[in-house]
Structure 1
Amino acid sequence: MDDPSQNQTHNHINGNGDWPHTMNQIFNEDESHFKSNAILPWDQFSNWIHCACVVTFDLELGQAMELIYPGHIKLTDKEKMNICYLSFPDSNSGCMGDTQFHFRIRQCPGKRPLSRSHSQYNKDCPVSLQLDDAHYYGFVYFRQTKDRTVRRGYFQKSVVLITKLPCVALFNQVISIIAPEYFDNGEPSLEAACHDIDQWPSPVPGDTLNLPIMGTVLQVRVPCRSDKLIGSVQSKSETLHSLPVHTVLPSLHEVDIYSAFLSILPHVQLLWELVLIGEPIVVMASSPTTTCLTVQALVNMIAPLKFCSDFRPYFTIHDSEFKEYTTKTQAPPPVILGVTNPFFAKTLQHWPHIIRIGDMGSIGGSPKLSNKVKKAAALKTLDSNPGVYTRYKSFLTKDKMILKRLMKGAQLKRPVEAQNAILRRHLLELTQSFMIPLERYMASLMPLQRNISPYKGPPKLRPFDSEKFLESVEHSGPQLTSGIKGDWESLYRRFFRSPNFEGWYHQRQREVNQKLQILHLEALSNANLSEWIADKEEVEIVDLILKIKDKLSFAMHHHHIVGKESVSRLQKQLEDIVLTLPHDLQSVIKT
């Protein structure tokens, strides 16, 4: 796949129809433009959050949007409807008191693309933490209390933060600070919280940030793509130091996967396979807090690989995609749904993989585990026992050592944080063992650097041949780094048909072709172009000039990864070549 910037053939480098005359112009143009806009009100706020909403229950209207802040933010009617319905628990559990959970919805088409800040964040953060311009997350704090002054007898209201960032741990903490203050002090406290967020620094991968919010400071490190993974994104050498007024968050995005899978621990490896190959999964529980934790844990369990299918941590019968996702006229789509309404037990019983999570009350103790996989057809109601209901047969043999280690830890009352780290590291190593052969094969498709000629176009990555890759699995497959045995080849075949493979392959394809563009630019900058054009026709020289201008355009759009020295040499080459042309042709080229 060609880099998008290569489609900008013959574009001018600057607004004067000329190329930049100084290196500073190339490398500082974007930065100065960004700085000039960064001082506008709510720009910093929008780097983190799209808006804050208050949703109330009206006896006559049902769920209603009471407030959107800041006031200039626009949501479509469809977005408002989805936010309203998803901001209230959809179950018979009562949910008295305070309840926290989060949801994910589609953004209506026609909105602006990612901001400059978000685009830069996506370039530098781990792929699994990238945001997209097609979805919003909503972080909900719902309060239900008895209130005799209300006709229905109950006060029911939710405070919701809408954002594109998948920073689950951070925003769960933020909403837990903001919402109680709002319930106690009303709208002025919400305004104050939003103004605090408008003072936050941008989410720059690799930076440790201090984020003031309503009298406290949250300290968190934003993961970077170059981080060394050791079971958690943050390494020991990067431990955050707390100040008295600080709340240190160990992670921006990670959830407690041990607690999420506590009642179904024996099936974690099976679930890892299902998520890896993009199978449709529905998670059923009695509360949205439980479903969103479990769905998020499923999505995170294949990290650092990005989960590329849709997922809904909390899904209701009022969701605008309800018919699309529950139709029986076609196979279920590759989506993970979290549901609480008993209606779904009947509506989704045709789904191939169903996870039933019981009440999460025994965390830290010795859990009562669901050991056997049950047939999917056995689940008829939400009263069924916790467990995994599926006809899927695992390709890999179960690693019993990790289960024994976790069970022993539970008996010894090992802290939940330690149990979570053990399980997370196990899943990380499993994913890495699966991906290392693919990365190795991908590297073999890259042309040799010595074959990159400045006088020809940049070379392309050779196409991925799944059969050739599978031939290599027997002698250089996951068995080199993993002790788990099984039919790895068949697991790869299923993976190749999944959105996760497609997403990984296109991402690596873009990265490799970008690297080839940089190597070609360096070769071009180091070549003796003046000597090469000595016996060339004017048309060939003009063609070379246009190619160099394209390279400089690429350099401007990727200045964070292109060496300044290489671009400076290429700029000088361009100026020298143009001077060899007749004056009238020079004028044509510069317009």
Structure 2
Amino acid sequence: MENELIEPDENEGKTLPWDQFSEWLHCIAVVTFDLELGQAMEFVYPKHIELSDTERTNICYLAFPDSNSGCMGDTQYCFRIRRSKLAKSHKPEVDRIQNKNCPVMLLKDKTHFYGYVYFRQVRDKTLKRGYFQKSVVLLSSLPYFNFFKDIVDIIAPEYFDNREPCLEAVCHDIDQWPCPIPGKTLSLPLMGMVLQVRIPTKQDKPGTTFLDNIDKKTSLASLTLSSINEVDLFESFQQILPHLHLIWELILLGEPLVVMATSPTLCASTVLAFISSISPLRYQCDYRPYFTIHDSEFKEYTTKIQDPPHVLLGVTNPFFAKTFQNWPHVVRLSGVGLPNYGGSNPSLLNSDVKLKKVTKLKALDQKAGVFTKYKTFLKKDKMFLKNFTKGLVSKQSSRVQSNQLKRHFLELTQSFVIPLERYMASLMPLQKNISALRAPPSIRPFRPEEFLQMVESNGPQLTSGTKGDWTGLYRQFLRSPNFQHWHIQRRLEMEAKVMSLHLVALSEMDLRSWCGSKSEVEVVDVVLRLKQKVSLVNEHKIEVSEKTLEKLNSQLTTIKETLPPDLQTILSKD
């Protein structure tokens, strides 16, 4: 897709107020500490936005770090909560383009809100409690973690100085922004600056940067944001580096997992890093970058009556150490950063950071560790870990180390997905079996045992240096929510492709000759069915080229002309 500069559209002034704003944000909320109420919502902007009582309560509690975190100064992190109502679409055409071209992990979330928090706590003797405590929260349906972190970083300090009028001006700026269309370089006015950002597409090659080459002297941008969603993998994984492949498997399989950290910033960024490790697969289970005991889903996720749900939680309260004793997998992070992997000669293959049983998890134990009985299907990639260790010794930058991790996880996930894609492709009907005058053929069902047999001879071992029981890993994966979502989406895409090929066949057939030997009833039936298919194309429910659509409309005209004038008149009506 062409990488072009997009300014706000001249026609956008004709849209309703706040339509453009709602493409990016649901609202901006300010949460403060009230001596009588505790954490309370001070106000929401735009003022017409409604939040349910449950949403308000969740936002208020999640907008402040747990009291035990001891976060002084400014703290940034994000959270995720369920929406009380499904998101409404103000611009269906924009949604269609996004759904078609946007990577699955960046699609709008119609069932959840993402909260991007900027919390400030400083001493203030003029206040009864002795502290100024307040948070600015950007609420959005978009999982643009990097982007909104940078946005709230610009907005919040200004708000703390200039109060509500500042947020009103910000919201009106955002209401002038163009829609977040994949593949476009957008210029976004904000508080006297112009931000420049590009929304990725499915077609982007991994590791490609699109904004680094912009001429800063001629560009309108005051600030260029190189990525809207990437997180620092090295920062999040550095305390548990020997267990990279274990974490990747747990996330791939959607296993119940808790990340316990000393701050909401660390637990949130780690949860997001874990999820990104299986990109370009979408993590389909529920996840909460930051979760508290006050969350409305607390009882649902901590019940001991049934097995833990498929969810990934980030927590800071020591209370959770006892609460999650029955959970199969817990990752604990300390606040001290990179541990000593073997002194002057570190090795990620023979590390002191050992796996521990969950039952040994103690509330006061602050050492980093992975608590699980899980046995990995795959062996550690010794070559990668050896090379990565060299980077630790030479003290490569965090960015370089993070990029190495990203590339390794991507290659591992792609090696895992290729056999699945290859098998799904084999389920497609042959193009020669798609006939214009017969119903489109069905796609064969996914048969797990048939797929697993194929893996034994034609699996990831052909593209990955990682050894182990790939078949066992696939068998487990086929029972996971991540596979179920992937399979449903791929099947829908394949069915759409079959429908598209069927319409191409229909557009190229000599229908006039066919009509010559058919009754009026049969011809009318074909006209009605063809009109229905053309309607589906116009509604973008089936994708065909403009040329094919022209041919289909021509076919409609051609076969209607073979009917008597009175029938032509009736069929020409919508």
Q: TM-score, normalised by structure 2?
A: 0.92
Q: Which has the larger displacement, 566-575 or 577-586?
A: 577-586
Report deviation, 1:191.
Answer: 1.4
Q: Which runs of 5+ in 2 are unaligned?
A: 1-9
Does the alignment pair 1:402 with 2:379? no
Distance in 1 of aligned mates of 2:475 and 2:386: 30
Aligned residue number for residue 168 of structure 1: 145
Change (3 A) 1:65 1:236: closer
> Residue 568 of structure 1: which of 531, 550, 554 is its match?
550
Aligned residue number for residue 545 of structure 1: 527
Aligned residue number for residue 321 of structure 1: 297
Query: Alignment partner of 1:330: what SS?
Result: coil
CA contact (8 A) 1:285 1:382 kept: no
Report deviation, 1:214.
Answer: 1.9
Aligned residue number for residue 121 of structure 2: 144
1:159-238 matched pairs, under 5 angstroms:
159-229=136-206, 232=207, 235-236=208-209
Does the alignment pair 1:83 with 2:76? no
CA contact (8 A) 2:334 2:366 kept: no
Query: Alignment partner of 1:138: what SS?
Result: strand
Report deviation, 1:120.
Answer: 2.4
Q: Deviations over 1:122-164 (max 9, x none)?
A: 2210112212210110000001111122221111110000001
Aligned residue number for residue 10 of structure 1: none
Query: Alignment partner of 2:259: what SS?
Result: strand
AA in 1 matched with 2:290: Y
Q: Deviations over 1:21-45 (max 9, x none)?
A: xxxxxxxxxxxxx968863222221
Query: Alignment partner of 2:367: what SS?
Result: coil
Does the alignment pair 1:304 with 2:280? yes
Distance in 2 of aligned mates of 1:321 and 1:419: 36
Query: Alignment partner of 2:401: what SS?
Result: helix
Change (3 A) 1:442 1:353: same
1:441-456 matched pairs, under 5 angstroms:
441-456=423-438
Does the alignment pair 1:423 with 2:405? yes
Change (3 A) 1:161 1:289: same
Report deviation, 1:174.
Answer: 0.4
AA in 2 matched with 1:306: R
Aligned residue number for residue 27 of structure 2: 51
> Residue 288 of structure 1: which of 245, 264, 280 is its match?
264
Distance in 1 of aligned mates of 2:458 and 2:322: 45
Distance in 1 of aligned mates of 2:21 and 2:213: 24
> Residue 506 of structure 2: which of 498, 501, 524 is its match?
524
Does the alignment pair 1:241 with 2:214? yes
Change (3 A) 1:63 1:237: closer
Distance in 2 of aligned mates of 1:306 and 1:487: 23
Change (3 A) 1:123 1:418: same
Report deviation, 1:265.
Answer: 0.5
Q: Which has the larger displacement, 156-165 or 394-403?
A: 394-403
Change (3 A) 1:225 1:153: same
AA in 2 matched with 1:268: L
Report deviation, 1:583.
Answer: 3.6
Does the alignment pair 1:337 with 2:313? yes
Query: Alignment partner of 2:327: what SS?
Result: coil
Distance in 2 of aligned mates of 1:71 and 1:283: 36
Change (3 A) 1:168 1:110: closer
Report deviation, 1:77.
Answer: 1.3
Aligned residue number for residue 15 of structure 1: none
Query: Alignment partner of 1:389: what SS?
Result: strand
Distance in 2 of aligned mates of 1:35 and 1:312: 38
Query: Alignment partner of 1:92: what SS?
Result: helix
- Larger RCO (CA under 8 A, 6+ residues apart): 1
Does the alignment pair 1:496 with 2:478? yes
Q: Deviations over 1:59-106 (max 9, x none)?
A: 101111111111111111111111111101014122111110100001
Q: Which runs of 5+ in 1 are unaligned?
A: 1-33
Q: Deviations over 1:291-335 (max 9, x none)?
A: 100000011100000111100000011111111111000001100
Query: Alignment partner of 2:33: what SS?
Result: strand
Does the alignment pair 1:483 with 2:471? no
Q: Deviations over 1:522-555 (max 9, x none)?
A: 1111111111122222222222112211211121
Distance in 2 of aligned mates of 1:400 and 1:495: 24
Report deviation, 1:407.
Answer: 2.6
Q: Deviations over 1:385-423 (max 9, x none)?
A: 211100000000111232232232122121111110000
Change (3 A) 1:142 1:364: farther
RMSD: 2.2
Distance in 1 of aligned mates of 2:198 and 2:478: 34
Q: Which has the larger displacement, 580-589 or 55-64?
A: 580-589
Q: TM-score, normalised by structure 1?
A: 0.90
